Amino acid sequence: MSKAKMVKIGILGGAGRMGQMIAREILSGRYKAKIAAVVEHKKSWAIGKDIGVILGLDPAGVTVTTDKEEAFDVSDVLIDFTTPKATLEHAELSFRHGKPLVVGTTGLTSAEMAAIKTAAKKAPMLQAANMSVGVNLLQAMVEHMATMLDDEYDIEIFEAHHRHKVDAPSGTAYALGVAAARGRGVKLEDAIMPARFGAIGARPKGAIGFSVFRGGDVVGDHTVTFAGDGERIELSHKASDRSLFARGALKAALWLAHQKPGFYAMKDVLGL
Q: Confirm if 188 and 181 have CB atoms less than 8 A apart.
A: yes
CA separation for the pair 77, 100 (Å, rounded): 5
165 classed as catalytic: yes
Q: Pick the catalytic residue: 165, 237, 251, 267?
A: 165
CA separation for the pair 10, 23 (Å, rounded): 9
Q: Confirm if 138 and 251 have CB atoms less than 8 A apart.
A: no
161 classed as catalytic: yes
Q: Pick the catalytic residue: 68, 97, 161, 222?
A: 161
Angle at 215 between CA 207 and CA 16, to 5 degrees: 100
Cβ partners under 8 Å of residue 185, min gap 6: none
Q: Confirm if 52 and 27 have CB atoms less than 8 A apart.
A: yes
CA separation for the pair 57, 17 (Å, rounded): 16
CA separation for the pair 174, 152 (Å, rounded): 22
Give me the active site residues, please: 161, 165
